[in-house]
Amino acid sequence: MLRKIIFLLACSLFALKVIAAPTTLPEFLKSSEELRGKAKIAKDFKGKAAELKKLEAQLNEVRAEFKKKKPTGDKVPTAQHEVTVFYYSLTPLFEIAKKDQADSKECAQAERRILSSANQGKIEGAPHDKDSLEVIAWHKLLCD
């Protein structure tokens, strides 16, 4: 009887972790949009930055899980690659969020890095991906 209880408890905790933590790019985009919605309501830079830091923490948690499950062979799983690219696209904004206030010079540099990353490997004038649009939206929120 005790074994069954322990087994059920372990399964439920595992299920909660799986349900709670986003692991794919679409899940992260949804989480990012929710956090950005909360950030829009924030009255000051620190409130907006706090929401972005929550997203950074989620991404770091999943990236740590990815590192534990090293891919076999040369091919990195698509989900892992997409989440990693999304993380690195947001990196300039994570750096700004660590400051007390957004600096116009840092925001301009971040914008150049974000747009460069978003346009990489695309035909000139091609529309941006959803993840690139999300990063651009975060930039506008933090820096405008």
Task: Flag whether 6 is in a domain.
Answer: no
Average pLDDT over residues 106-131: 86
120 — pLDDT class (breaks 50, 70, 90):
confident
CA dihedral 117, 120, 124, 130 (to 10 degrees): -60
Domain that holds residue 64: 23-143
- Domain total of the chain: 1
10 within domain boundaries: no
Distance (Å, whole) CA 60 – CA 112: 24
Is 61 domain-assigned?
Answer: yes
Mean pLDDT of 38-53: 93
Q: What pLDDT does residue 4 have?
A: 56
**Domain assignment present for 8:** no
* Residue 141 binned pLDDT confidence (cut-offs 50, 70, 90): very high
pLDDT over threshold 70, residue 2 = no
The answer as to whether 44 is a domain residue is yes
Q: Is residue 87 part of a domain?
A: yes
The 3-state DSSP class for residue 66 equals: helix
Q: Tell me if 11 is assigned to some domain.
A: no
Taking residues 16-39, report their average pLDDT: 80
- Closest of 48, 60, 43, 62 to residue 93, by C-alpha: 48
Q: Is residue 2 part of a domain?
A: no
